[in-house]
Chains A and B, each alone.
Chain A
Amino acid sequence: MSATGIGAAVRRKEDLRFITGKGQYTDDVSRPGQAHIYFVRSPHAHARIKRIDTKTAAGMPGVVGIVTGAEFAESKLGNLICGWTVLSKDGSPMKMAPHPALAVGKACHVGDPVAVVVADTLAQAKDAAEKINVDYEILPAVVDPTKAAGKGAPLIHDAAPNNTIYNWHIGDHDATAAAFRGAKHVTKLEFVNNRLVPNAMEPRAALAEYDAGTQHLTLWNATQNPHVARLVISAFVGIAPENKLRVIAPDVGGGFGSKIFIYPEEVVCLWAARQFNRPVKWTAERSESFISDAHGRDHVTTAELALDADHKITGLKVKTVANLGAYMSTFSSAVPTFLYATLLSGQYAIPHIYAEVDAVYTNTVPVDAYRGAGRPEATFVVERLVEAAARELDLDPADLRKKNFVKTFPYQTAVASLYDAGDYNASLQKALQIHDYKGFGKRKRESEKNGKIRGIGFATYIEACGVAPSSLVGQLGAGVGLWESAEVRVNPTGSVELLTGCHAHGQGHETTFAQLVAERLGIGIDQVNVVHGDTDKVQFGMGTYGSRSGAVGMSAIVKALDKVEAKAKKIAAHLLEAAEGDIVFKDGKFTVAGTDRSVAWGELALAAYVAHKFPTGEIEPGLKETAFYDPTNFTFPAGCHICEVEIDPETGVTSVVGWTAVDDFGTVINPMIVEGQVHGGVAQGVGQALLEHTVYNDSGQLVSGSYMDYAMPRADNLPSLKVDMTVTKCPSNPLGIKGCGEAGAIAAPAAVMNAITNALGTEKIDMPATPAAVWSTIQQLNKTRLAAE
Chain B
Amino acid sequence: MPTVSMKVNGKDAKADVDPRTLLVQFLRENLRLTGTHVGCDTSQCGACVVHVNGKAVKSCTMLALTADGAEILTIEGLANGAQLHPMQEAFRENHALQCGFCTPGMIMTAVDIVHRKGNNLEEHTIREELEGNICRCTGYHNIVKAIGAGARAMSGEVTKQAAE
Contact = CB atoms under 8 A, between A and B. Distances in A.
A/B: CB atoms within 8 Å of each other: yes
A202 B41 contact: no
Nearest to B132: A714
B93 A11 contact: yes
A13 B131 CA distance: 29
B74 interface: yes
Contacts of B104: 18-19, 21
Interface stretch (A136-144, A307-315, A529-537, A673-681): A673-681
B98 interface: yes
Contacts of A708: 42, 44
A252 B33 CA distance: 18
B99 A200 contact: yes
A253 B100 contact: yes
A715 interface: yes
Main secondary structure of the interface of A (DSSP, over half): loop
B126 interface: yes
B82 to A, nearest CB: 10
B45 A707 contact: yes
A715 B42 contact: no
Interface string B30-57: 0011111111111011010000000000
A256 B136 contact: yes
A437 B31 CA distance: 56
B110 to A, nearest CB: 11
Interface string A189-223: 00000000001111100000000000000000000
A252 B99 contact: yes
A676 B97 CA distance: 9
A712 B91 contact: no
A720 interface: yes
Interface string A529-549: 000000000000000000000
B157 interface: no
B65 interface: no
B35 A23 contact: yes
Contacts of A27: 34, 38
B35 A287 contact: no
B99 A253 contact: yes
Contacts of B98: 254, 506-508, 676, 680
A19 B135 CA distance: 14
Interface string A706-729: 111000111110101100000000
A679 B138 contact: yes
B62 interface: no
Contacts of B144: 715, 720
Contacts of A645: none
Contacts of A159: none
A21 B107 CA distance: 10
A28 interface: yes
B75 A20 contact: yes
A650 B123 CA distance: 25
A613 B33 CA distance: 53
Nearest to A25: B101
Contacts of A720: 123, 141, 144
B154 to A, nearest CB: 15
B92 A680 contact: no
Contacts of A718: 127, 139-141
A720 B126 CA distance: 12
B137 interface: yes
Given A286-B39, A720-B141, A672 B84 contact: no
Nearest to A682: B139
Contacts, number: 179
A681 B138 CA distance: 8
Nearest to B34: A28
Nearest to B129: A715
A201 B39 contact: yes
A734 B42 CA distance: 48
Interface string A247-290: 00001111010000000000000000000000000010111000
Nearest to B135: A201
A46 interface: no
A713 B98 CA distance: 16
Interface string B76-98: 10110000100010011101011
B140 A707 contact: no
Given A251-B100, A707-B45, A21 B95 contact: no
Interface in A10-33: 11-12, 14-25, 27-28, 30
Contacts of B95: 11-12, 672-673, 675-676
B142 interface: yes
B59 interface: no
Contacts of B84: 19-20
B102 interface: yes
A714 B130 CA distance: 7
Contacts of B137: 201, 254, 506, 676, 680
B45 A201 contact: yes
Interface of A: 11-12, 14-25, 27-28, 30, 123, 199-203, 251-254, 256, 283, 285-287, 505-508, 672-673, 675-676, 679-684, 706-708, 712-716, 718, 720-721, 744
Given A21-B76, A713-B140, 19 more contacts: A19-B92, A19-B104, A20-B35, A21-B104, A123-B18, A201-B39, A201-B45, A201-B137, A505-B99, A506-B98, A506-B137, A672-B95, A673-B95, A679-B140, A679-B141, A680-B138, A714-B130, A715-B140, A718-B139
